[in-house]
Amino acid sequence: MHMFHKNRSAGAFIKVCPAREQSMTPLILRLDISGIPVTWIPWQDAVSLYCRDMVAWTAGEHNFTFHGGICRRTGVRSCVDINTIIAVKRSSTHRHVKRTIPPLTNRELFLRDAHLCMYCGSEYPEHELTRDHVVPLSRGGLDRWSNVVAACRQCNTRKGNRIPEMANMPLLAVPYVPNWAEYLALSNRRILLDQMEFLKSQFSGRPMPFYKQ
């Protein structure tokens, strides 16, 4: 980290790279002090953590440099290097994250299933997929990760209000609840290689259809 003005608010920092690149600025992976991934944060929040001296250690392979204004007293331009993976001091989210079931959204569900219909095996764009309840809601099935799969409209309609066995439509993969690291990997489209490698070390070990790298 270079010199920067400690009292300066994060909003005063400006990224130096060209505008087009700026829109591509990746999200920063925030860890708790023990190295458990917690969430994605925008670079402005990361700058704020650096400015408050809240970054305990870093694990990414890259730094992004952000420049702020000139200090009136010293004439020195403020500047802060942001690592792509930062562990934050005094953060004990470990237990919280272990308990937390990732929110279920279609976008992450379809990514979990690699945009494949879990009945016919064909690949579809997001807007052509549906959320199929393996045990239909009308039969007491729950709207949870472990009871939902991506399905194309045709298969979903054909299956109707039946369980796969009744419809003679076996599932191609058993639906699972992503752990938090897997969920973070699913939920960021601009994930960097070092961030993915870090999260991968905390995947559950089962084959991950969405992870094709």
Shorter beta-carbon distance to Zn ion: residue 117 or 192: 117
Shorter beta-carbon distance to Zn ion: residue 120 or 135: 120
Can residue 120 be called a binding residue for Zn ion (CB under 5 A)?
Answer: yes
Min dist CB 212 to Zn ion, Å, is 20
Residue span binding Zn ion (CB under 5 A) among the ranges 12-20, 80-88, 107-115, 145-153: 145-153
Can residue 149 be called a binding residue for Zn ion (CB under 5 A)?
Answer: no
Number of residues lying near Zn ion (CB under 5 A): 5
Residue span binding Zn ion (CB under 5 A) among the ranges 22-30, 72-80, 83-91, 147-155: 147-155
Can residue 184 be called a binding residue for Zn ion (CB under 5 A)?
Answer: no
3-state secondary structure the chain: CCCCCCCCCHHHCEECCCHHHHCCCCCEEEECCCCCEEEEECHHHHHHHHHCCCEEEECCCCEEEEEEEECCCCCCEEEEEEECEEEECCCCCHHHHHHCCCCCCHHHHHHHCCCECCCCCCECCHHHEEEEECCCHHHCCCCCHHHEEEEEHHHHHHHCCCCHHHHCCCCCCCCCCCCHHHHHHHCCCCCCHHHHHHHHCCCCCCCCCCCCC
Residue 92 structure tokens: 């004990």
Which of 152, 181, 191, 192 is the binder for Zn ion (CB under 5 A)? 152
Can residue 173 be called a binding residue for Zn ion (CB under 5 A)?
Answer: no
Can residue 129 be called a binding residue for Zn ion (CB under 5 A)?
Answer: no
Give the C-alpha separation, 96 to 38, whole Å: 9
Can residue 172 be called a binding residue for Zn ion (CB under 5 A)?
Answer: no
Min dist CB 157 to Zn ion, Å, is 10
Can residue 13 be called a binding residue for Zn ion (CB under 5 A)?
Answer: no
Which of 64, 110, 119, 183 is the binder for Zn ion (CB under 5 A)? 119
